[in-house]
Each structure stands twice: as C-alpha cells, then as structure tokens.
C-alpha cells in the first residue's frame, strides 16, 4: 500500500518536472496538428480523403516518396554500418575526431548543406569539371535538379541518424567476442551474420526507422535539388497550403502521410520482435 | 597408440614482435610436446598476453616461425589453426544459449545441426552442465560460464587448448575446484594445453612445465620443481614463491654476507648470491642438532599468523633479517622479541646466477 503510494508520488514528481516541456509541445505542436486534422474531418472536407486515395497522381507521389525514402535508408545503412564498426575500433583520440566530423554536418543548417550540394552538382561544379577533365564525359551533364541529386543530398544529411544508433550498439559489444568467433572458425561473413548483426540489430532497426521516417517528410532537398522533377509528398503538401491555400487538402495529405509513417513504425517494431525474439532480456539486461 | 609425448605440438622459433617502438617479444624459442600442460607465467606487461595472442593467431610475428604439429602456421589465420581458447572474460556469445554457444564452432565446421547439437550436449555433460543448455550466459554463474567456455573450446577437438587467465575472476574455493577439473579434463582428453597466468601458485599447481616470461623473453623453462628450487635468475627467484636473497662475497668456506653472516653451501659457486626459501629455515628454542647445517642466533622481530602457517621475521645477531615460514603450532609459537635459534641445511642455501644484463656487485 505504502509502497504503491510512494511510487505514485514519485511519478507525480517526475510529471511535475516534465510538465513545462509537455505544455510547450502541447500548445505549439500538438494543438495545431489536432486543429488541422479536425479541419480535414469537417463535412465539406471529408471527401478529400476519397479524392487523395483514388487519385493516381497523389498515390504516385506517395509511392515515389516511399521509394526514395527506402533507397536513402538502404544506402545510409550500407554506408553507416561499416563506418560504425570502424569508428568503434579507433583509439579514443581518433574516435573524438571522427565524431566531430560526423556531428559538424548535424550542426550546420540543412539549407546551407543543400546549397553546398547545388554548387557541387552544378553545371560548372567540381564534379562536372572533374568528369570532363578525366574525359569520362564530353560535356557537363545534368547532376543537379534530378532524383539523383535529391537522393545524394538526403543520404548525406540523414547519415548521422543512421550512424549514431548503430555505433551505440556496436560499441557495446565486447571486442573479444569477435576474437572468439574468429578463433572458433568463423570467417568474416559468419562473424557478421552470427555475432555482429544479432548483437547490433536493435541499433540498426533504430537507425532504419529514424532515417526512413525522416526521409518520408523531407522538404528542402526535393525542393532545391529536385528542380521540380522529383515529386514527393512534402512538396505536394506545401503546394496545397502555400500556393492553393487549400489547408484542408494539405491537412488530408499530412494525415495520410502520418498513417504511412505509423505503418512503417509498426512494421519495424514487428521486425524488432522477430529478430530480437525474447533474447533481448537475456542478452542485454 | 603412438606416444605423443615425443611429438612436438607447438614450436616457436626466434619469435619477435614489436608494437611501434616497443619490443613486446624478443627472440622467443619454445617447444611444447603433445599432451603437455605448459604454463606461461609472467607479471602484467611481461609480454605473455602478446605471446598468447600470437599463438592463437590474432597477432602475427615480425619475424620467426610458429609450427603446430609440424605444420607451419606463422601466418595462418586464427580459424585455420584449430585452437580452442578460453578467454579471460570467457567471451560467450550473449545472444546464444549455452548449447548454441557450444554448437558454434561445430556449425562453423559445417557439421549438421543435429550432429552439432549432440556433440555440444556431450561436451556440456563433460563439464556437468547438461541441464543448462537452454539458459543464456547472463543467467548462469561465473563458474558455470567458465565451464561453458571450456566446453566450447574443446568440443571441436582442437589441436591446442589456450587458457588466458581463466580463473582470475573466480573466488578462491571455486578457483581451486575449477583448476582441478580443468587439469582432469585436459589429461583425459590428452589435450596439449598452454595456460597463461600471473599467479605463481596456480602455475606450480597445474603445470607439467612452466615458462617464466618477463621483459618479452623467456627467463626460464622447466618443471615446477626446477623453477622453484633452481631459479636461474633473480627475476625468477623473486617471482616464484617467497625468498630470502642474501648477497655477499665468496670465501673458501662459503658466502660471507655484507652483514657478516657466513653461509656454507653444499656446492660451491661464485655468484655471490644465495637463495633461501622461508620454509627451509628451522626455528627452535635450543640449538638444533645435525651435520651440514648453518646455525644462527636471532630475535623475533615480527610474527604473522596466516592459518596453516606462521611467518616470522627474525633479526639474526650480527646479520640480516630473514623470513621464516613454519607450520603453525599453537604450543610452540614464538613471541615477538623472543631469542631463537635458526638452522639452515647447507643444501638449502642455493646459489642464484646473475642475470646477464645485471651489473656485477
């Protein structure tokens, strides 16, 4: 009894501590979203849902957004996994330096980094100049204003969100486990599939869900690097709200995007359960 | 059955390894016979861990060669060497059950899952853990984890077994029973074993032979008896067991210590240094009888009671302070400041050769 009361009191105490943050989020974040969502449910707007779902154009944009998000996530995973393992084996000084390099882009404005990509990929940018100079192409090719540019930019910007959770799990693995695996006859591939991957799967899934969800909603990259050729849902929403002043439609599209994000989360959650099984408790507690 | 005792299981020739400008191992030569239990004994920083990692295949030497049962393995990868290893922290896979851990090396060798499970179960039975196959490493005790690590290291019938200070994390009672058990398992499998430790008692208890390593070189290689009673250098003498080491000048009668004691010895030597083990000194109220004895009078300066033994510090009149260890006996225990007689057999005053790099005098 008394203990239960103590627990409640403790909980109330922590609630008091987080309440300013909760209040801020509630007023500035949750309330506007709720308002927008309620607008979409008004009688004159509810038909928008049917319109979005039945329209080939908008469904194609949703599909395109998802496709780009999956590509970015996979590329980031392939880039970040070996990098995380590499960083985890560096000396403490080198590790600090490596993290510095990883975090600087995070601290730099997305807009600045996007403009940097525009310069890099431009007609007279360093990449085109190099290609021409090396004789790989005769004349500068179009790199910017393409899906390639959008994917390259997003991959770069979202890489730390993949790297950090994976690094976090990898660095917690006892390095002697890799020696043990090698000594017991496991090659590089078996060591990866039987030891490294199962022991870092939680970090991998966390990184995958972060990057996937963030890339579903990215706006700046497709807007500035896509040159209007890369339709994604965030652009469509902006167009509805900004150009057509059709807030209800923008709200409907947002709601559909949110449902897609939630389904994605749910699938990853399911995957986590499947991969980690009941073992997480035994292995990591 | 062929006699493996004469087969060379592991041979290291002129092994050298440097890390940057630090020489971790210089000119290591070592041969281990099949079925032998060899201990590499040394303090931390002596190079023993590097030597172990080099035998295991995690480190390659700068020069020299490493042969396992006649096959050159100097540059072979760890997995190719067929070596079972028990790590200091056991290195069990936390995401696999006890049984799956033991199955791991078999599965890597392409055994069928069923066959691997059967063999692993048999190996677990050999270390009395048949009932724990379904548990995860975190769910069993340290001693049990160690047995799992041992089962995993021997289940694939390796050519060598390497043990990296496996007992250091266990409490004393458990350690002793594990030491006995490992020794029995090793003997029953006739498995050539290389054991790394910094604990000299453990080394004396477990080994067929001991290689004392310090400063990246093997200081002495021999049976526990040889190492204990005939240390070849001051480093070995001080590292193994407790010792009284007395220095002085050689005279025709024996060694005259700097403090003036004369120590007669069974055999002559010119090393100018004598080792007397604390348990070789007899302590008594009256002068002891006997021939070929060194006799001294002294006063007890200090007494330490450690259960089975009593350790006395005795100030020899006109001489050094000697450490004496004798079986504890409540009746005849001596008190501090009591006058006593010490007697040391001449044969127990053992000369210690000087280390090569040590300056004379």
- Burial status of residue B24 (CB atoms within 10 A of its CB: 0-12, 13-18, 19 or more): buried
Question: With contacts defined as CB-CB under 8 Å, which chain B residues touch A284?
Answer: 94
ipTM over 0.85: no
The shortest CB-CB distance from A186 to any of B79, B92, B138 is to B79
Q: Do B95 and A190 touch (CB under 8 A)?
A: no
Q: Do A185 and B83 touch (CB under 8 A)?
A: no
The per-residue pLDDT for A283 is 46
- B311 within 8 A of B303, measured Cβ to Cβ: yes
Is the pLDDT at B285 greater than 90? The verdict is: no
Choose between A285 and A254: higher pLDDT: A254
**Under 8 Å CB-to-CB from A131, ≥6 apart: which residues?**
A137, A140, A141
Residue A95 lies in a domain: no
Smallest CA-to-CA distance from B151 within B94, B82, B104, B96 is with: B104
Domains of chain A: total: 1
Q: Which CATH class for the B243-351 domain?
A: mainly beta
| Closest Cα in chain A, distance from residue B155 (Å) | 10
DSSP-derived 3-state class of residue A14: helix
Question: With contacts defined as CB-CB under 8 Å, which chain B residues touch A190?
Answer: 108
Is the pLDDT at A46 greater than 90? The verdict is: no
Helix axes A247-276, A47-54, angle to 10 degrees: 60
Helix axes A56-88, A92-107, angle to 10 degrees: 160
The per-residue pLDDT for A15 is 82
CA dist., res. A232 & res. A62, Å (int): 7
Residue B304 main-chain phi, psi, to 5 deg: -125, 125
- A227 within 8 A of A145, measured Cβ to Cβ: yes
* N-term to C-term CA, chain A: 29
Q: Do A182 and B58 touch (CB under 8 A)?
A: yes
Convert chain B into a string of H (helix), E (strand) and C (coil).
CCCHHHCEEEEEEEEEEEECCEEEEEEEEEEEECCCEEEEECCCCCCHHHHHHHHHCCCCCCEEEEEECCEECCCCCHHHHCEEEECCCCCCCCCCCHHHHHHHHHHHCCCCHHHHHHHHHHHHHHCCCHHHCCCCHHHCCHHHHHHHHHHHHHCCCCCEEEEECCCCCCCHHHHHHHHHHHHHHHHHHCCEEEEEECCHHHHHHHCCEEEEEECCEEEEEECHHHHHHCCCCHHHHHHCCCCEEEEEEEECCEEEECCCCEECCCCCCCCCEEEECHHHEEEECCCCCCCCEEEEEEEEEEEEEECCEEEEEEEECCCCEEEEEEECCCCCCCCCCCEEEEEEEHHHCEECCCCCCCCCC
- B138 within 8 A of B109, measured Cβ to Cβ: no
The nearest alpha carbon in chain B to A200 belongs to: B95
Q: What is the helix, strand, coil percentage profile of chain A, to 5? A: 80, 0, 20
The per-residue pLDDT for A105 is 79
Q: Do A176 and B87 touch (CB under 8 A)?
A: yes
DSSP-derived 3-state class of residue A155: helix
Per-residue confidence at A282, pLDDT binned at 50, 70, 90? very low
Residue A99 lies in a domain: no
pLDDT in tens, B14-39: 999 999 888 899 989 999 999 999 99
Residue A1 lies in a domain: no
The shortest CB-CB distance from A283 to any of B79, B89, B95 is to B95
Preferred mutation among B95, B139, B156 to probe A, highest tally of A CBs within 10 A: B95
The shortest CB-CB distance from A174 to any of B83, B91, B139 is to B91
| Closest Cα in chain A, distance from residue B35 (Å) | 21
In chain B, domain spans: 4-237, 243-351
Q: Do A199 and B152 touch (CB under 8 A)?
A: no
Choose between A128 and B211: higher pLDDT: B211
Q: Do B78 and A279 touch (CB under 8 A)?
A: no
| Closest Cα in chain B, distance from residue A80 (Å) | 23
CA dist., res. B229 & res. B212, Å (int): 14
The token pair at A147 is 């899906």
The per-residue pLDDT for B169 is 80
Containing structural domain, residue A273? 29-89+143-284
The per-residue pLDDT for A285 is 38
**Across B52-70, average pLDDT:** 93
Neighbouring CB atoms inside 10 A of A115's CB total 14
Rg value, chain A, Cα: 23
The nearest alpha carbon in chain A to B94 belongs to: A283
The shortest CB-CB distance from A182 to any of B78, B93, B109 is to B78
Is the pLDDT at A104 greater than 50? The verdict is: yes
Question: With contacts defined as CB-CB under 8 Å, which chain B residues touch A285?
Answer: 138
Is the pLDDT at B117 greater than 90? The verdict is: yes
pLDDT in tens, A173-205: 999 999 999 999 999 999 999 999 999 998 999
Q: Do B83 and A285 touch (CB under 8 A)?
A: no
Q: Residue A272: give its domain's CATH number.
A: 1.10.3720.10
Residue A250 lies in a domain: yes
CA dist., res. B90 & res. A280, Å (int): 20
Least confident of A76-80, B88-92, B148-152, B173-177: B173-177
Preferred mutation among A176, A178, A185, A188 to probe B, highest tally of B CBs within 10 A: A185
Half-sphere exposure of B190 (CA within 13 A, CB side): 9
CA dist., res. B251 & res. A51, Å (int): 113
Average predicted confidence (pLDDT) for chain B: 89
**Across B284-290, average pLDDT:** 83
- B148 within 8 A of B93, measured Cβ to Cβ: no
**Across B179-200, average pLDDT:** 91
Per-residue confidence at A107, pLDDT binned at 50, 70, 90? confident
Q: Do A182 and B77 touch (CB under 8 A)?
A: yes
In eight-state DSSP terms, residue A219 is -
Residue A12 lies in a domain: no
Q: Which fold has domain B4-237?
A: Rossmann fold (3.40.50)
The per-residue pLDDT for A265 is 87
pLDDT in tens, A123-174: 888 888 898 888 888 888 888 888 999 999 999 999 999 999 999 999 999 9
CA dist., res. A122 & res. B324, Å (int): 87
């Amino acid at each position: 009894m008394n203990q239960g009361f103590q627990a409640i009191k403790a909980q109330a105490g922590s609630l008091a501590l987080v309440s300013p943050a909760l209040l801020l989020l509630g007023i500035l974040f949750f309330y506007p979203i709720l308002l927008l969502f309620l607008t979409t449910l008004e009688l004159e707007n509810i038909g928008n849902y049917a319109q979005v779902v039945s329209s080939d154009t908008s469904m194609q944009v949703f599909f395109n957004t998802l496709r780009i998000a999956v590509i970015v996530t996979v590329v980031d995973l392939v880039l970040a996994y070996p990098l995380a393992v590499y960083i985890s084996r560096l000396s403490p000084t080198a590790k600090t330096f490596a993290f510095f390099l990883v975090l600087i882009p995070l601290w730099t404005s997305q807009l600045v980094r996007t403009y940097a990509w525009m310069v890099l990929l431009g007609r007279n940018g360093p990449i085109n100049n190099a290609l021409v100079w090396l004789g790989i192409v005769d004349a500068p090719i179009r790199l910017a204003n393409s899906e390639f540019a959008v994917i390259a930019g997003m991959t770069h910007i979202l890489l730390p969100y993949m790297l950090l959770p994976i690094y976090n799990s990898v660095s917690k693995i006892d390095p002697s486990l890799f020696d043990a695996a090698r000594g017991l006859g496991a090659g590089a591939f078996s060591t990866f599939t039987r030891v490294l991957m199962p022991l870092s799967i939680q970090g991998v899934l966390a990184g995958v869900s972060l990057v996937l969800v963030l890339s579903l909603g990215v706006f700046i990259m497709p807007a500035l690097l896509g040159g209007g050729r890369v339709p994604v849902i965030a652009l469509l929403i902006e167009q509805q709200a900004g150009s057509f002043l059709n807030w209800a439609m923008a709200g409907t599209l947002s709601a559909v995007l949110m449902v897609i994000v939630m389904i994605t989360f749910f699938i990853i959650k399911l995957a986590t359960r499947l991969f980690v099984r009941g073992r997480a408790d035994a292995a990591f507690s | 059955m062929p006699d493996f005792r004469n087969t060379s299981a592991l041979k290291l020739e002129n092994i050298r390894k440097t890390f940057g400008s630090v020489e971790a191992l210089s000119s290591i030569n070592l041969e281990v016979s099949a079925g032998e239990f060899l201990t590499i004994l040394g303090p931390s920083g002596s190079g023993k861990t590097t030597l172990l990692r080099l035998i295991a295949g995690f480190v390659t030497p700068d020069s020299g060669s490493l042969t396992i049962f006649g096959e050159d393995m100097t540059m072979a990868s760890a997995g190719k060497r067929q070596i079972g290893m028990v790590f200091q922290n056991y290195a069990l896979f936390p995401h696999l059950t006890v049984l799956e851990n033991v199955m791991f090396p078999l599965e890597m060798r392409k055994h069928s899952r069923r066959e691997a499970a059967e063999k692993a179960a048999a190996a677990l039975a050999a270390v009395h853990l048949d009932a724990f196959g379904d548990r995860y490493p975190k769910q069993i005790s340290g001693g049990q984890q160690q047995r799992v690590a041992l089962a995993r290291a021997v289940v694939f019938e390796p050519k060598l077994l390497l043990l990296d200070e496996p007992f250091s994390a266990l409490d004393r009672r458990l350690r002793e029973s594990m030491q006995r058990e490992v020794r029995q398992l090793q003997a029953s499998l006739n498995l050539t074993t290389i054991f790394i430790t910094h604990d000299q008692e453990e080394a004396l208890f477990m080994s067929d032979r001991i290689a004392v390593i310090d400063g990246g070189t093997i200081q002495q290689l021999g049976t526990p008896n040889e190492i204990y009673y005939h240390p070849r250098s001051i480093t070995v003498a001080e590292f193994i067991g407790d010792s009284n080491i007395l220095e002085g000048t050689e005279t025709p009668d024996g060694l005259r210590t700097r403090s003036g004691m004369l120590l007669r010895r069974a055999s002559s030597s010119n090393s100018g240094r004598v080792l007397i083990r604390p348990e070789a000194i007899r302590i008594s109220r009256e002068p002891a009888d006997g021939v070929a004895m060194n006799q001294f009078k002294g006063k007890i300066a200090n007494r330490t009671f450690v259960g089975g033994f009593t350790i006395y510090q005795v100030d020899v009149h006109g001489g050094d302070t000697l450490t004496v260890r004798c079986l504890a006996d409540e009746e005849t225990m001596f008190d501090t400041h009591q006058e006593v007689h010490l007697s040391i057999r001449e044969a127990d005053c053992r000369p210690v050769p000087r280390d090569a790099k040590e300056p004379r005098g």
